[in-house]
């Protein structure tokens, strides 16, 4: 289960990362990598609340499979940064128990595919105990897992299981598609009395971006308009957010003014933000990496049609993952999910842009 | 208050532009009065009124283009409501008239349902009174979008400066629309027969000797008359197909007149079965020049119950027509030419006419069509009885 040869494990690369990306930039913003944003969030959570602890495979001595927790063991000690055996069902269950016992555990599941081993704990315990106990037992558990493709981890470690979790009643499901959310979602999720799943994205780990120097907890109930536009609503989350923003930037050169909505919360969906946007633009393109059949976009498409059909000026369109096990070769991997150019071409077609 | 609506002047008409009101509020009108001229794809048409009363309000203004069925004016009935019973007859007639023009609103709705337009475009068009059937879609797959409806609204609001489409071109489009519909929707069947015209032509030349040059009869009056007589025997071919065959009591033959600039006009000649040969010739002499000048009355454009196309002299020998919807038949006459004719074991040369029938197989079958052609052929052998 341990991923060797993972570039994030390279110590040299890590030191450079820390040195370069911690620097302050102008206007009270800081430039940092997605990996660093995750680490800052965990550190802040641990500092703020004694009940918070982190557990998962290789999070301690190894510094995290993706080096997101490097140094935390030294800083907070083995009681708060706990390496677990390779037993997802066991340690997710332990996390649920700790949450029931008054702790605020952060359970890291290395990659989303491993979470399938803990699915029973998530679905039958975390998501249902509040209901089964007649409202007596909250489970204030946060599960973080990395997911998505783009790092040549092949078919077994490249899943986009967001739709699977977004299907489960009793969970709150978040997707950190930006640095700001990687920095802030965890803190708010830990305040939530009920189980929260946070999806993080492998391929963003080394990407750097500027966020406010005082960035912290963020709202976890609303979708966010990342870019305002009037011609079309590109609705996406996670891995699609930066791609959609880049596509929108290029489309603006062609005179197409695209609005980009980052769903952020996949369960419960913030339908109001979606509807208001589509009522304004009258067109919706839904983008995500998950396989197209029965994904989050399917749900959004249905809700748009059910609620604001008469505001549509074109059929709702979707761009999703090609329905094959994710390929290993780089060019095939790239081809298996929507890319920036796919978004641009689709928008041009929907707008009949010559 | 009676509503005077934009009439449908054929299956292909979707909208008309009011050119001029020939009446003003307060004017008394009676059935048959021409109260307005309307510009259609078929040129300027005089519009008749079917009610009696006083013009109450002129709802639309000159140069306004409105879809078929739009209320153009309100007419106050002459009689008090209490005496309405007496008025029942004319009212009924007016209703009947409407029945006879089902080409108006019904097809428009049908087209609307099948039209490819975005939900938003449809909603906006309904709110703003835009006829989607008149728009060309710019969206994916030719769908009508918000932008197309917005353009149409701007056009509607803008002062009517739009260049008039050349009459010929607009008639071309009208013919195109009607014939496309015909070919798309009507399952035609075709029958053909040859008619020995020697007796008819001989009778005609005798008859013309007793007439002044102005009153001379053309062979076509015999043909029209024979069609009308045969229709009284086979009434199934005289009517409309609208979810079922609706036979019409009057025999109003639409006579195809080909225009020099291209395209055709099909004015109706009313009640041919009840007209004498000479009356029919007078009607033809009146209507043909008016059709060519595109000065027809609305009833002449909307009330034909069957169509006849006759090629006349020195033309092709056979013509198979396309039915003018919602009618159920069209009769085609080619040129009369001399041909070898075998009869009672002898060969002779006779003036021969090829007559064809294209009929709607939903409404009738070949046996009906054949009975009609044989009846018509029979009448043409007894010209004196026509």
Q: Provide mean pLDDT across the span A148-166.
A: 92
What is the pLDDT at residue A137?
Answer: 96
Preferred mutation among A314, A315, A316 to probe B, highest tally of B CBs within 10 A: A314
**B145, closest residue in chain A (CA to CA):** A313
Distance from CA of A314 to the nearest CA of B (A): 6
Rounded distance between C-alpha atoms, residue B309 and residue B254, angstroms: 8
Those residues with Cβ within 8 angstroms of residue B76's Cβ, 6 or more apart along the chain or in another chain:
B1, B2, B53, B54, B55, B56
Q: Say what the pTM is.
A: 0.55
Q: In this structure, what are the phi and psi dihedrals at residue B73, rounded to the nearest 5 degrees?
A: -155, 160
Cβ-based burial of B226 (10 A; exposed 0-12, middle 13-18, buried ≥19): buried
**Tokens encoding A134:** 């007649």
Short-list A52, A53, A47, A72, CA closest to A62: A72
Residues counted in chain B: 386
Record: contact A311-B139, CB cut-off 8 A: no
Q: Provide mean pLDDT across the span A68-92.
A: 96
More confident: B155 or B84: B155
What is the pLDDT at residue B6?
Answer: 84
Torsion sign over Cα B112, B118, B124, B130? negative
What is the pLDDT at residue A165?
Answer: 97
Q: Is A45 left (phi over 0), alpha (psi -120 to 50) or beta?
A: alpha
Q: Which of B155-169, B288-302, B345-359 has the lowest mean pLDDT?
A: B155-169
**pLDDT confidence bin for B262, thresholds 50/70/90:** confident
Q: Provide mean pLDDT across the span B7-27.
A: 81
Q: Provide mean pLDDT across the span A104-119.
A: 96
Record: contact B143-A349, CB cut-off 8 A: no
pLDDT at residue B112 greater than cutoff 70:
no
The reply to whether A88 belongs to the active site is: yes
More confident: A19 or A115: A115
Rounded distance between C-alpha atoms, residue A288 and residue A271, angstroms: 17
Distance from CA of A353 to the nearest CA of B (A): 10
Q: Provide mean pLDDT across the span B245-266.
A: 88
Q: Is A232 left (phi over 0), alpha (psi -120 to 50) or beta?
A: beta
Q: How far is CA B40 from the centre of its chain?
A: 13
**pLDDT confidence bin for A24, thresholds 50/70/90:** low
- For residue B124, list chain A residues with Cβ-Cβ distance below 8 A: none
**Tokens encoding A156:** 């077994």
What is the pLDDT at residue A4?
Answer: 45
What is the pLDDT at residue B159?
Answer: 59
**Tokens encoding A182:** 């990687």
Dihedral, CA of residue A264, residue A266, residue A272 and residue A276, to nearest 10? 60
Q: How many CB atoms lie within 10 A of CB A147?
A: 26
What is the pLDDT at residue B85?
Answer: 43
What is the pLDDT at residue A76?
Answer: 97
Instruction: Report in angstroms the alpha-carbon separations of A288 from A262, A332, B262.
Output: 11, 17, 57
Q: Provide mean pLDDT across the span B374-386.
A: 91
- For residue A314, list chain B residues with Cβ-Cβ distance below 8 A: 118, 139-140, 143, 145
Domains delineated in chain B? 2-102 (2.40.50.100), 115-164 (4.10.320.10), 169-385 (3.30.559.10)
What is the pLDDT at residue A99?
Answer: 98
User: What 3-state class would DSSP assign to A84?
Assistant: coil
pLDDT at residue B298 greater than cutoff 90:
no
**pLDDT confidence bin for A6, thresholds 50/70/90:** very low
CB contact, 8 Å: A310 with chain B?
Answer: yes
**B149, closest residue in chain A (CA to CA):** A313
Q: Provide mean pLDDT across the span A174-183.
A: 97
Looking at A157, A200, A259, A299, which residue is catalytic?
Answer: A157
What is the pLDDT at residue B30?
Answer: 84
What is the pLDDT at residue B11?
Answer: 65
Of the candidates A313, A349, A352, which has its C-beta nearest B120's C-beta?
A313
The reply to whether A167 belongs to the active site is: no
What is the average pLDDT value for chain A, to the nearest integer?
92
More confident: A312 or B264: A312
**pLDDT confidence bin for B90, thresholds 50/70/90:** very low
Record: contact A314-B118, CB cut-off 8 A: yes
Q: Provide mean pLDDT across the span B113-133.
A: 85
- For residue A313, list chain B residues with Cβ-Cβ distance below 8 A: 118-121, 139, 145-146
Residues of chain A above pLDDT 70, percent? 92
What is the pLDDT at residue B91?
Answer: 43
**pLDDT confidence bin for A12, thresholds 50/70/90:** very low
**A349, closest residue in chain B (CA to CA):** B140
CB contact, 8 Å: A12 with chain B?
Answer: no
Instruction: Report in angstroms the alpha-carbon separations of B171 from A338, B176, B323.
Output: 50, 8, 17
Radius of gyration of chain B (CA): 23
pLDDT at residue A294 greater than cutoff 60:
yes
What is the pLDDT at residue B14?
Answer: 76
Those residues with Cβ within 8 angstroms of residue B291's Cβ, 6 or more apart along the chain or in another chain:
B257, B259, B265, B267
What is the pLDDT at residue A206?
Answer: 94
With contact defined as beta carbons under 8 Å apart, do A217 and A184 qualify? yes
Dihedral, CA of residue A119, residue A124, residue A127 and residue A132, to nearest 10? 180
CB contact, 8 Å: B142 with chain A?
Answer: no
Residue written as tokens 């030719």?
B142
Record: contact A314-B145, CB cut-off 8 A: yes
Short-list A17, A128, A136, A21, CA closest to A70: A17
pLDDT at residue B377 greater than cutoff 50:
yes
pLDDT, one tens digit per residue, over A297-309 is: 999 999 999 999 9
Rounded distance between C-alpha atoms, residue A263 and residue A296, angstroms: 10
pLDDT at residue B110 greater than cutoff 90:
no
What is the pLDDT at residue B98?
Answer: 42
What is the pLDDT at residue B99?
Answer: 42
**pLDDT confidence bin for A207, thresholds 50/70/90:** very high
pLDDT at residue A7 greater than cutoff 90:
no
Record: contact B120-A282, CB cut-off 8 A: yes
Q: Provide mean pLDDT across the span B263-278.
A: 88
pLDDT at residue A30 greater than cutoff 60:
yes
Q: How many CB pairs under 8 A join A and B?
A: 31
CB contact, 8 Å: A75 with chain B?
Answer: no
Q: Provide mean pLDDT across the span B198-224.
A: 90
User: What 3-state class would DSSP assign to A311?
Assistant: helix
**Tokens encoding B149:** 């409806």
Residues of chain A above pLDDT 90, percent? 89
**Tokens encoding B100:** 């006879």
**Tokens encoding A201:** 């994205």
**A351, closest residue in chain B (CA to CA):** B139
With contact defined as beta carbons under 8 Å apart, do B119 and A307 qualify? no
Q: What is the DSSP letter of A176?
A: -
Q: How many CB atoms lie within 10 A of CB B357?
A: 26
Rounded distance between C-alpha atoms, residue A126 and residue A100, angstroms: 10
More confident: A163 or B292: A163
Distance from CA of B145 to the nearest CA of A (A): 6
Residue B53 pairs in a beta bridge with: B29, B77
Those residues with Cβ within 8 angstroms of residue B120's Cβ, 6 or more apart along the chain or in another chain:
A282, A310, A311, A312, A313, B145, B146
Q: Provide mean pLDDT across the span B281-296.
A: 85
pLDDT, one tens digit per residue, over B326-337 is: 999 999 999 999
**pLDDT confidence bin for B109, thresholds 50/70/90:** very low
Rounded distance between C-alpha atoms, residue A259 and residue A280, angstroms: 10
Rounded distance between C-alpha atoms, residue A183 and residue A178, angstroms: 9
ipTM of the complex: 0.73
What is the pLDDT at residue A255?
Answer: 93
pLDDT at residue B108 greater than cutoff 80:
no
Q: Provide mean pLDDT across the span A197-225.
A: 95
**pLDDT confidence bin for B35, thresholds 50/70/90:** confident
CB contact, 8 Å: B121 with chain A?
Answer: yes
Preferred mutation among A275, A313, A349, A354 to probe B, highest tally of B CBs within 10 A: A313
Distance from CA of B147 to the nearest CA of A (A): 9
pLDDT, one tens digit per residue, over A323-349 is: 999 999 999 999 999 999 999 999 999
What is the pLDDT at residue B37?
Answer: 85
Domains delineated in chain A? 7-212 (3.40.50.970), 224-350 (3.40.50.920)
Torsion sign over Cα A300, A304, A305, A306? positive
What is the pLDDT at residue B314?
Answer: 84
Record: contact A312-B146, CB cut-off 8 A: no
Of the candidates A282, A315, A352, which has its C-beta nearest B146's C-beta?
A282
Residue written as tokens 């083995």?
A78
With contact defined as beta carbons under 8 Å apart, do B19 and B78 qualify? no
Q: Are strands B239-241 and A52-56 parallel, antiparallel or unpaired?
A: unpaired
Angle between helices B119-128 and B146-157 (to 10 degrees): 20
**pLDDT confidence bin for B69, thresholds 50/70/90:** confident
Q: How far is CA B91 from the centre of its chain?
A: 23
Q: What is the 3 state secondary structure string of chain B?
A: CEEEECCCCCCCCCEEEEEEECCCCCCEECCCCEEEEEEECCEEEEEECCCCEEEEEECCCCCCEEECCCEEEEEEECCCHHHHHHHHHHHHHHHHHHHHCCCCHHHHHHHHHHCCECHHHHHHHHHHCCCHHHCCCCCHHHCECHHHHHHHHHHHHCCCCCCCCCHHHHHHHHHHHHHHHHHHHCCEEEEEEEEECHHHHHHHHHHHHCCCHHHCCCHHHHHHHHHHHHHHHCHHHCEEECCCEEECCCCCEEECEECCCCCEECCEECCHHHCCHHHHHHHHHHHHHHHHCCCEEHHHHHCCCEEEEECCCCCCCCCCCCCCCCECEEEEECCCEEEEEEECCEEEEEEEEEEEEEEECCCCCHHHHHHHHHHHHHHHCCHHHC
pLDDT, one tens digit per residue, over B143-162 is: 899 989 988 888 877 755 54
Rounded distance between C-alpha atoms, residue B23 and residue B14, angstroms: 24
User: How far is the first Cα of chain A from the last one, in angstroms, to the nearest whole number?
Assistant: 50
Q: Which of A290-294, B53-57, B182-186, B364-368 has the lowest mean pLDDT?
A: B53-57
Rounded distance between C-alpha atoms, residue A304 and residue A292, angstroms: 17
- For residue A315, list chain B residues with Cβ-Cβ distance below 8 A: 140
Distance from CA of A152 to the nearest CA of B (A): 36
Rounded distance between C-alpha atoms, residue A330 and residue B122, angstroms: 46
């Amino acid at each position: 289960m341990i991923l060797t040869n993972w570039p994030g494990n390279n110590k040299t690369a890590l030191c450079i990362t820390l040195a370069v990306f911690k620097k302050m930039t102008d206007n009270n913003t800081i430039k940092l990598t997605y990996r660093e944003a995750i680490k800052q969030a965990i550190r802040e959570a641990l500092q703020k609340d004694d009940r918070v602890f982190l557990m998962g495979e290789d999070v301690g001595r190894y510094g995290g499979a993706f080096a997101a927790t490097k140094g935390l063991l030294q800083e907070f000690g083995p009681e708060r940064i706990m390496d677990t055996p390779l037993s997802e069902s066991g340690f997710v269950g332990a996390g649920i128990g700790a949450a029931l016992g008054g702790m605020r555990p952060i359970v890291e599941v290395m990659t989303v595919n491993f979470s399938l081993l803990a699915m029973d704990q998530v679905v039958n315990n975390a998501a249902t105990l509040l209901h089964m106990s007649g409202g007596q037992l909250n489970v204030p558990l946060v599960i973080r897992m990395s997911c998505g493709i783009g790092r040549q981890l092949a078919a077994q470690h490249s899943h986009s299981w967001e739709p699977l979790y977004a299907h489960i009643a009793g969970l709150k499901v978040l997707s950190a598609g930006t640095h700001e959310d990687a920095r802030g979602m965890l803190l708010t999720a830990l305040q939530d009395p009920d189980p929260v799943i946070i999806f993080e994205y492998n391929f963003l780990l080394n990407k750097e971006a500027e966020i406010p120097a005082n960035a912290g907890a963020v709202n976890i109930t609303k979708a966010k308009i990342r870019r305002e536009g009037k011609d079309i609503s590109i609705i996406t989350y996670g891995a699609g957010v930066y791609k959609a923003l880049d596509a929108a930037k290029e489309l603006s050169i062609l005179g197409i003014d695209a609005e980009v909505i980052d769903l952020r919360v996949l369960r419960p969906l913030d339908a109001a933000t979606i509807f208001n946007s589509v009522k304004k633009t009258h067109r919706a393109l839904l983008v995500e990496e998950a396989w197209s059949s029965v994904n989050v976009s399917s749900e959004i498409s249905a809700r748009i049609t059910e609620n604001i059909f008469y505001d549509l000026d074109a059929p709702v369109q979707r761009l999703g993952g090609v329905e094959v096990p994710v390929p290993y070769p780089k060019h095939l991997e790239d081809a298996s999910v929507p890319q920036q150019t796919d978004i641009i071409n689709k928008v041009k077609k929907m707008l009949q842009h010559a | 208050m009676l509503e005077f609506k934009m009439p449908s002047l054929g299956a292909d008409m979707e909208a008309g532009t009011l050119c001029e009101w020939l009446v003003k509020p307060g004017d008394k009108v009676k059935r048959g009065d021409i109260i307005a001229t309307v510009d259609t794809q078929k040129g300027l048409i005089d519009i008749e009124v079917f009610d009696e009363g006083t013009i109450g309000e002129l709802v639309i203004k000159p140069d306004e283009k409105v879809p078929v069925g739009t209320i153009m004016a309100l007419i106050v009935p002459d009689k008090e409501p209490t005496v309405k019973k007496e008025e029942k007859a004319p009212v009924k007639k007016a209703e009947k008239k409407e029945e006879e023009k089902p080409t108006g609103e019904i097809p428009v709705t049908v087209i609307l349902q099948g039209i490819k337009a975005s939900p938003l475009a449809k909603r906006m068009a309904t709110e703003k009174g835009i006829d989607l059937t008149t728009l060309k879609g710019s969206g994916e797959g030719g769908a009508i979008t918000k932008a197309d409806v917005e353009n149409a609204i701007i056009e509607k609001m803008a002062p009517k400066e739009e260049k008039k489409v050349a009459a010929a071109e607009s008639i071309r489009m009208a013919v195109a629309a009607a014939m496309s519909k015909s070919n798309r929707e009507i399952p035609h069947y075709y029958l053909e027969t040859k008619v020995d015209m020697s007796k008819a032509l001989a009778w005609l030349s005798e008859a013309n000797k007793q007439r002044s040059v102005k009153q001379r009869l053309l062979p076509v009056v015999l043909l029209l008359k024979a069609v009308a007589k045969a229709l009284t025997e086979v009434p199934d071919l005289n009517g409309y197909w609208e979810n079922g065959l609706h036979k019409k009591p009057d025999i109003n033959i639409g006579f195809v007149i080909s225009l020099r600039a291209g395209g055709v006009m099909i004015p109706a000649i009313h009640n041919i079965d009840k007209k004498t040969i000479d009356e029919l010739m007078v009607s033809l002499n009146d209507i043909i020049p008016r059709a060519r000048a595109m000065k027809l009355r609305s009833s002449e454009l909307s009330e034909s119950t069957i169509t006849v196309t006759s090629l006349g002299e020195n033309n092709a020998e056979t013509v198979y027509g396309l039915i003018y919807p919602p009618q159920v038949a069209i009769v085609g006459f080619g040129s009369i030419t001399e041909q070898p004719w075998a009869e009672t074991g002898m060969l002779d040369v006779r003036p021969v006419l090829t007559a064809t029938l294209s009929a709607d197989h939903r409404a009738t079958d070949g046996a009906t069509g054949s009975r009609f052609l044989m009846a018509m052929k029979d009448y043409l052998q007894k010209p004196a009885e026509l």
